[in-house]
Amino acid sequence: MGDFVAVTRNYYVFNRDKWQALHGHTKEAEISDADLQSVKAFHDKISLTDVREIYWPLRRLVYLYFKSFRQKRQTLAHFLDQRVGPSPFIIGIAGSVAVGKSTTARLLNLLLKRAYPNLRIESITTDGFLYPNAELTRRGILDRKGFPESYDMPRLLSMLNAVKAGAADVPVPMYDHQTYDVLRDQFIHLERPDILIVEGINVLQLPSNSQIYVSDFFDFSVYVDADPALIEEWYLDRFGALLDTAFTDPDDYYYQYAIGNRADAFAMARRVWHDVNLKNLQEYILPTRSRADLILHKTAHHRIDRVYLRKY
């Protein structure tokens, strides 16, 4: 955990056994292995045991925070002596490329929907707010894709502001990981969700040129953490799996690498990791870890061994 040890006094620290005991007495809706496979990110690793021991207590905690959020809204309405409009409870999920953020977001979405079918629960990623590749190329920053300057932050902040204000229909741009680019004129439409999960490497960052930050809209935040050397291993393993599936589709971003020399492809992937993803992690993503309300720390094989919960 590096220098994070110095700030753990701000967190309750749980090993796996102690955390799973916080499941409580609520009856959980069972999910099947097929359900789990449907939400698991490509080449990620997670088991039904992980669901029971890690994500059931997390689901319970999120719902308790959600109830407190609703009560706070009611208190505000009572103070103002007027109706307060709808506003969603927003969860931010951050962490490095290849660390498993997407699986965490999708699984939490599934568990909340199963436990509370009367609530409207939605998930989005911030990938759709990257500038298109053509724009990144025009600005000369294609090789810094994923860094703060590669995102259209004003557009992302405007979207979150509209959602938080209870707007009836908020379009969210989409991203295609097969073509490695933003999808033009394709959107997810958010229609006043009760809970919104926002996943992305940049959701806890503090851009220096903003008066308001993405995290200002969050009511709860999660950081998925692991040693960078492990994340590099997962990144390269995923890259190899992508090569194994991309060679049949010329439109796939990885096709050019899949049909070429495999050693050259992996050399390129290692350069990208060290020059782009690791640098971004060390300079912009990892420093946001201590801003999260909850940290899921992973060891080998994506196994979560510790959970950190902010005290205050």
Express each pLDDT in 276-300 by its tens digit: 999 999 999 999 999 999 999 999 9
Structure-token pair, residue 106:
């999708």
- CB-side neighbour CA atoms (13 Å) of 37: 3
**How many whole angstroms separate alpha carbon 17 and alpha carbon 244?**
37
- Domain residues of the chain, as ranges? 2-310
**How many whole angstroms separate alpha carbon 219 and alpha carbon 6?**
25
Kindly report whether the global pTM for this prediction surpasses the value 0.85: yes
Helix or strand holding residue 125 (H, E): strand 121-125
What average pLDDT does range 66-95 have in this prediction? Answer: 96
Is 96 within any annotated ligand binding site?
A: yes
pLDDT digits (tens, 9 = 90+) for 146-177: 999 999 999 999 999 999 999 999 999 999 98
Is 72 within any annotated ligand binding site?
A: no
Is 101 within any annotated ligand binding site?
A: yes
Is 87 within any annotated ligand binding site?
A: no
Is 224 within any annotated ligand binding site?
A: no
Is 98 within any annotated ligand binding site?
A: yes
At the top level of CATH, the class of 2-310 is alpha beta
What average pLDDT does range 205-218 have in this prediction? Answer: 76
Question: Residue 24: its pLDDT value, please?
Answer: 77
Q: Does the pLDDT value for residue 18 go beyond 60?
A: yes
pLDDT digits (tens, 9 = 90+) for 112-131: 999 999 999 999 999 999 99
What average pLDDT does range 263-278 have in this prediction? Answer: 95
Is 140 within any annotated ligand binding site?
A: no
Structure-token pair, residue 249:
């589709």
Which position has the higher pLDDT, 3 or 49? Answer: 49
Q: Does the pLDDT value for residue 27 go beyond 70?
A: no
What average pLDDT does range 220-237 have in this prediction? Answer: 97
Q: Of the candidates 285, 265, 266, which has an alpha carbon nearest to the alpha carbon of residue 277?
A: 285
Q: Does the pLDDT value for residue 209 go beyond 60?
A: no
Mean pLDDT estimate for the chain: 92
Structure-token pair, residue 173:
């741009």
**How many whole angstroms separate alpha carbon 205 and alpha carbon 149?**
12
